[in-house]
Chains A and B, each alone.
Chain A
């Protein structure tokens, strides 16, 4: 089993909130989780990011105990979770649909978990008051869920989970049902809240921006597996697979033959010429067959500047003005290239039909497997 290595005692000194070892989950013939292993540190904001059907929600539900794995191991704060039923796990969930009890007021919804734990009435009132104040929803206390807006329901759902002071808070697409404006605002709030409380957050999202903005670390999932795990910056700047490069942000891909150069760099031969790639993370002998670069890393140079290293000529096909930046669509040979340029000037710099030089800085080039 691939999990063997993980079963050894922990050498790492960072305490783990959740440890998942070669988790398997199948629904009939559909494999939702095929041997997922990951470690989530105490106090971090961790995101599971991927397209729908990638297994991220299943993983969250298995951690919550709402679904049982077909194989593998989960430890929550070092304890084997297999023996802990959902209602006794030290985790709480914010559901995508919020799942507020419609017959209970906001206060009673929030008090629900404490009542189930048979906490003294006076303490319940006190803790509910505090979490209402924390979420700034004190004035909603006596309302029923039907009388709340989407954003308010979201806060109540968060409050209902947080009042239990869980070791891990699980969030299933917490901002999915809200409009863009509110989502942006709550992204920041949620992030600050997590910092303030120091509770481990595990969030499921299909929204890459949300994951990048909020998370300490992100696991990008695809087809029941983790494609890449790392910080937002690592995932965006150094994607390791084609899937990650294209799922997160935009990416220009070029077919390439790769060989080492004399100066320790790597040379990638493409249809548009040879490019030297400097910042190759590790494993330089790995045969990358694609060269990639983010649209905003490409520099456009006007006029005749032939013969520059790491560049090629391309014709501007069209552009979209987006306020802060302009998105150019270029054609170089058969290849479409997308370039994003910040609008530092008030007027358009390049016009359709113009031929420009595209400069691809060596440190921003990425090599990917097929």
Chain B
């Protein structure tokens, strides 16, 4: 009996068989994504073209008003508020991703070069902050950035901030909080690609005349590009929508994408406008990722 079964597994499946196997293995996930991702996305896209109802719902007719308003051309003439919010959020996401990358790259190389014994411990240390709630971690930064705390004093002695004053609210505080929150998302995928790196390629590049920088650029970077891309996406996407940290460490005065969207669906009850912001944010992010990916797969080709 078991022998016969193995034979069956090895055989070419019929067309119907292949479909039913695909259905069994991938069906649940596809169904899940269909119901909880594709449908809501389609709904958001549809709602963004509808008109706000009298009491908060949505109604016809189809209109581009929400998008016009988002671009700054509202009923009261030009207003740069929303484009600025959008730009600010994307800039925060980008800055967070770049800073995380700068911090994670050396760290990933360092951990990958550790002996097996210490690798596990090092990776645990990277992940440990996750075990604490985000809010608590962010409030902790408020305390550390308070006037006369050792961190604040140390920063002042380095010429950062004004002596006697707190370091938050401020851009520096926001970025610190963001980088600390998102660093593991960058370190882990980067580490995964550094770990399985073929170091002979670095030797080959050096042997062919590449100096240190060009060894990195031509032999190592192409190998960690997938991990780097994954890390960038994992940090950039949520960082763009993040508004708790900017609120708590930035002083709750600056509107971010996340809290503007939240406002539209909650207090303002303007679903079409909220949907439009979400759709545009998603579009911008996708365009950014497409550019990033195109750049990653591009390489020199001899004429």
Contacts and interface: CB of A to CB of B under 8 A. Distances in A.
B200 interface: yes
B40 interface: no
B201 interface: yes
Nearest to B214: A116
B41 interface: no
A87 B211 contact: yes
Interface stretch (A44-52, A105-113, A293-301): A105-113
B126 to A, nearest CB: 28
A141 B219 CA distance: 20
Interface in A97-138: 97, 99-105, 107-108, 111-113, 115-117, 124-125, 128
B177 to A, nearest CB: 36
A334 B66 CA distance: 101
Interface in A63-99: 64-66, 86-88, 91-93, 95, 97, 99
B300 A87 contact: no
Interface stretch (B143-151, B202-210, B228-236, B281-289): B202-210
Contact of B203 (A95, A101, A125): A95
A97 B200 CA distance: 8
Contact of A66 (B207, B210, B301): B207
B204 A101 contact: yes
B198 interface: yes
Contacts of B300: 104, 108, 115
Interface residues on B, range: 20 to 34
A155 interface: no
B302 interface: yes
A101 B201 contact: yes
A164 interface: yes
A112 B299 contact: no
B303 interface: yes
B208 A113 contact: yes
A104 to B, nearest CB: 6
B302 A128 contact: yes
A108 B198 contact: no
B129 interface: no
Nearest to B302: A107
A81 to B, nearest CB: 14
Given A87-B210, A116-B209, A103 B204 contact: no
Contacts of B301: 105, 107-108
A116 B300 CA distance: 13
B218 interface: yes
Contacts of B303: 125
A103 B299 contact: yes
B295 to A, nearest CB: 13
Contacts of A225: none
B302 A66 contact: no
B208 to A, nearest CB: 4
Is the contact region of chain B dominated by helix, strand, or loop, or is it mixed?
helix
A200 to B, nearest CB: 16
Contacts of B222: 101-103
B200 A92 contact: no
Contacts of B210: 87, 112, 116
Nearest to B199: A99
A141 to B, nearest CB: 8
A287 B45 CA distance: 95
Interface in B208-245: 208-211, 214-215, 218-219, 222
Interface string B268-303: 000000000000000000000000000000011111
Nearest to B208: A113
Given A104-B299, A116-B214, A99 B204 contact: yes
A217 interface: no
Contacts of B201: 99, 101
A160 interface: yes
A88 B209 contact: yes
Given A93-B204, A99-B201, A101-B204, A87 B299 contact: no
Nearest to B203: A66
Nearest to A105: B301
Contacts of B207: 64-66, 86-87, 91-93
Contacts of A115: 300
A299 B222 CA distance: 62
Contacts of A64: 207
Contacts of A101: 201, 204-205, 218-219, 222
B216 to A, nearest CB: 13
A181 B201 CA distance: 28
A105 B210 CA distance: 18
A108 B204 contact: no
B299 A86 contact: no
A157 to B, nearest CB: 9
Contacts of B218: 101, 112
Contacts of B214: 116
Contacts of A66: 203, 206-207
19 contacts: A87-B211, A88-B209, A91-B207, A99-B201, A101-B205, A101-B219, A101-B222, A104-B299, A107-B302, A108-B299, A108-B300, A108-B302, A112-B205, A112-B208, A112-B210, A116-B205, A124-B302, A128-B302, A164-B209
Closest 8 CB pairs of A and B: A116-B209, A113-B208, A99-B204, A107-B302, A99-B200, A103-B222, A86-B206, A93-B207
Given A101-B201, A161-B208, 18 more contacts: A65-B206, A65-B207, A86-B206, A86-B207, A87-B206, A87-B209, A92-B207, A93-B203, A93-B207, A95-B200, A95-B204, A103-B299, A108-B301, A113-B209, A125-B303, A128-B302, A160-B208, A164-B208
